[in-house]
């Protein structure tokens, strides 16, 4: 009896994103020659990715960003707490929480292998990132190189999670909340398929990286409390795969590398 290699959804997803090692890719492509069911699974993944990317309208995204930035600018002036992003090399970077609906700008569940960008489509919560292009959008993989000014659209798959929050930490130790819209809003997730966030996000000039986190729970997430907890953590270490959170929370992170890293 011939033993047939079983390929997980994770492997197929990484194949579509061109993230497989040469050895695994050759094995999969050999199997694709004769396995019609496998061919259909790959086709379904490609169709799913393309369908979501085609939804993202560049003009709508830019309009949303401009409106959010105007609101952010007015709020910052009145509160007088907007962080200065132009830093001299000798200045110590201050740790600040940027709880903003949008301004600046893989999916990874913490795992013992430490592989950045691991996704279990349909089985685990998943975070997806897309970069706005002249036409449509490009799906980003873990450790993609990005630049200041890039416009990023986030989406998530809740899977079996009911509540969650999405935020990012940049190379200046700035924390930006992406979902919910603010710390007082509901953390209830959309559980039907892939859910794009209502706004896009423009990367600023923070150096080195921007790491996005998707934290999920079966109970409502106390967003404000977690943000305060994160402030203390990033004061000690900025770029971490797994944050120090209670065991009740599942964590996924997705890192983008800035072009000057």
Residues 131 and 36 in one domain: no
Residues 103 and 178 in one domain: yes
Residues 24 and 97 in one domain: no
For residues 202 and 150, is the Cβ–Cβ distance under 8 A?
A: yes
- Give me the pLDDT at residue 134, please: 84
Residues 122 and 87 in one domain: yes
Q: Which is more confident, 160 or 17?
A: 160
Q: Decide if 224 is inside a domain.
A: yes
**91: pLDDT strictly greater than 60:** no
- Give me the pLDDT at residue 90, please: 30
- Which run of H or E residues covers position 198? strand 194-202
How far, in Å, CA of 200 to CA of 29, rounded?
36
pLDDT averaged over every residue in the chain: 75
Residues 46 and 62 in one domain: no
Stretch 162-180: mean pLDDT: 93
How far, in Å, CA of 154 to CA of 176, rounded?
13
Residues 147 and 181 in one domain: yes
Q: How many independent structural domains does the chain possess?
A: 2
Q: Which is more confident, 246 or 115?
A: 246
pLDDT band at 22 (very low <50, low <70, confident <90, very high): confident
Q: Which is more confident, 117 or 241?
A: 241
Q: Decide if 91 is inside a domain.
A: yes
Q: Decide if 77 is inside a domain.
A: yes
Please state whether the peptide bond connecting residue 258 to the residue before it is cis, i.e. omega within 30 degrees of 0.
Answer: no
Domain encompassing residue 19: 9-53
How far, in Å, CA of 230 to CA of 253, rounded?
14
Q: Decide if 4 is inside a domain.
A: no
- pLDDT tens figures, 141-152: 999 999 988 999
Residues 13 and 105 in one domain: no
- Give me the pLDDT at residue 64, please: 57
Residues 117 and 163 in one domain: yes
Q: Decide if 34 is inside a domain.
A: yes
Q: Decide if 110 is inside a domain.
A: yes
- Which run of H or E residues covers position 166? strand 163-170
Residues 159 and 218 in one domain: yes
Residues 212 and 239 in one domain: yes
Q: Decide if 2 is inside a domain.
A: no
174 in helix, strand or coil?
strand
- Give me the pLDDT at residue 236, please: 77
CA-closest candidate to residue 187, choices 211, 210, 156: 156
In this structure, what token pair is assigned to residue 140?
Answer: 């980003």
For residues 98 and 83, is the Cβ–Cβ distance under 8 A?
A: yes
Q: Decide if 223 is inside a domain.
A: yes
Residues 47 and 64 in one domain: no
pLDDT band at 235 (very low <50, low <70, confident <90, very high): confident
pLDDT band at 100 (very low <50, low <70, confident <90, very high): very low
């Amino acid at each position: 009896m011939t033993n047939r290699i079983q390929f997980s959804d994770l492997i197929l997803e990484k194949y579509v994103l061109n993230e497989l090692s040469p050895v695994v890719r050759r094995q999969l492509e050999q199997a694709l020659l004769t396995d019609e069911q496998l061919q259909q699974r790959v086709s379904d993944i490609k169709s799913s990715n393309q369908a979501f990317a085609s939804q993202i309208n560049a003009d709508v995204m830019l309009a949303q960003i401009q409106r959010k930035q105007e609101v952010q600018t007015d709020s910052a002036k009145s509160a007088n707490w907007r962080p200065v992003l132009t830093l001299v090399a000798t200045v110590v970077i201050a740790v600040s929480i940027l709880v903003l609906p949008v301004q600046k700008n893989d999916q990874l569940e913490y795992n013992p292998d430490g592989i950045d960008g691991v996704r279990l489509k349909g089985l685990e919560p998943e975070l997806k990132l897309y970069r706005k292009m002249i036409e449509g959008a490009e799906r980003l993989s873990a450790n993609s190189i990005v630049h200041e000014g890039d416009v990023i659209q986030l989406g998530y798959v809740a899977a079996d999670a009911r509540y969650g929050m999405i935020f990012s930490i940049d190379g200046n130790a700035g924390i930006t909340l992406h979902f919910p819209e603010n710390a007082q809003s509901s953390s209830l997730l959309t559980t039907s398929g892939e859910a794009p966030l209502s706004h896009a996000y423009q990367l600023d000039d923070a150096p080195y990286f921007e790491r996005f986190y998707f934290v999920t729970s079966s109970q409502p997430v106390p967003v404000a409390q977690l943000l305060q907890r994160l402030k203390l953590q990033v004061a000690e270490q900025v770029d971490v795969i797994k944050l120090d959170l209670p065991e009740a929370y599942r964590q996924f992170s997705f890192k983008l590398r800035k072009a000057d890293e």
